[in-house]
Amino acid sequence: MISISLENTLLLAQGAPSAPVGGIFGNGMMFPILMIVIMYFVIFRPQQKRMKEHQKLISSVAVDDHVIMESGMHGIITSVKDRTVMVKIADNVKVQFERVKIAAVTKKSDVIEATEA
């Protein structure tokens, strides 16, 4: 007959040590952290870069610059204030816009070439 003592029973109950859980990402918190890092480089960083470029564009506008507004309206800046610009959109027609609504500044040579063609 086989005798099993209490000591042998405890050793058998423990079994072999288990492998670490988590796979490729290690522990359970690695995946959410990795997703946040990816979102930063794919979404937030390019958006911050565009915002800085737009701020630089807005601060560099001057009188006689040809601009395109966010509404799609084209015109020539006739005066510049702290927060606003006066834009000439036709003969004897001037409209005041917020500076942040400037979408693009075009070169004068581009506008002249377009009118000649």
**Reported pTM:** 0.59
| Contact present, 98 and 69 (Cβ < 8 Å) | no
CATH class of the domain at 62-116:
mainly beta
Q: Tens place of pLDDT for every residue, the chain, 117 residues?
A: 555 565 655 555 555 555 555 556 567 778 888 888 898 888 888 999 999 999 999 999 999 999 999 999 999 999 999 999 999 999 999 999 999 999 999 876 555 555 555
Integer angstrom CA distances of residue 80 from 55, 63, 70, 109, 110? 15, 7, 17, 21, 22
Q: Is the separation of the CB atoms in 74 and 67 below 8 Å?
A: yes
| Ranges for all domains in the chain classified under CATH 2.30.30.100 | 62-116
Q: Give phi and psi for 47, each to the nearest 5.
A: -65, -40
